[in-house]
Amino acid sequence: MNPLLLVFVICPIIVIVTSIVGFMLIRRWFVMPLLTFIVFTALTFTVFNESFFIWAIVYAILSVIVGLMMKSAKK
């Protein structure tokens, strides 16, 4: 699999979908970003190399944005 496709397309789609589903199930906007950061940090040191850590931070920020958008849409 192309790593560029994984970083720019597949992982962001997975983060967005899981953030939406997680917010719908748990109803807390901060749980999915925390879980996203933990999972991608673990993947950084097990599957990828240390340079992937910056993407773990980016995906956590993306998850925060999606969670806050879902929170404001629920009101």
Q: What is the pLDDT of residues 24-62, one digit of tens each?
A: 999 999 999 999 999 999 999 999 999 999 999 999 999
The predicted structure's pLDDT at residue 36: 97
- Return d(Cα 29, Cα 33) in angstroms, integer: 8
pTM of the model: 0.92
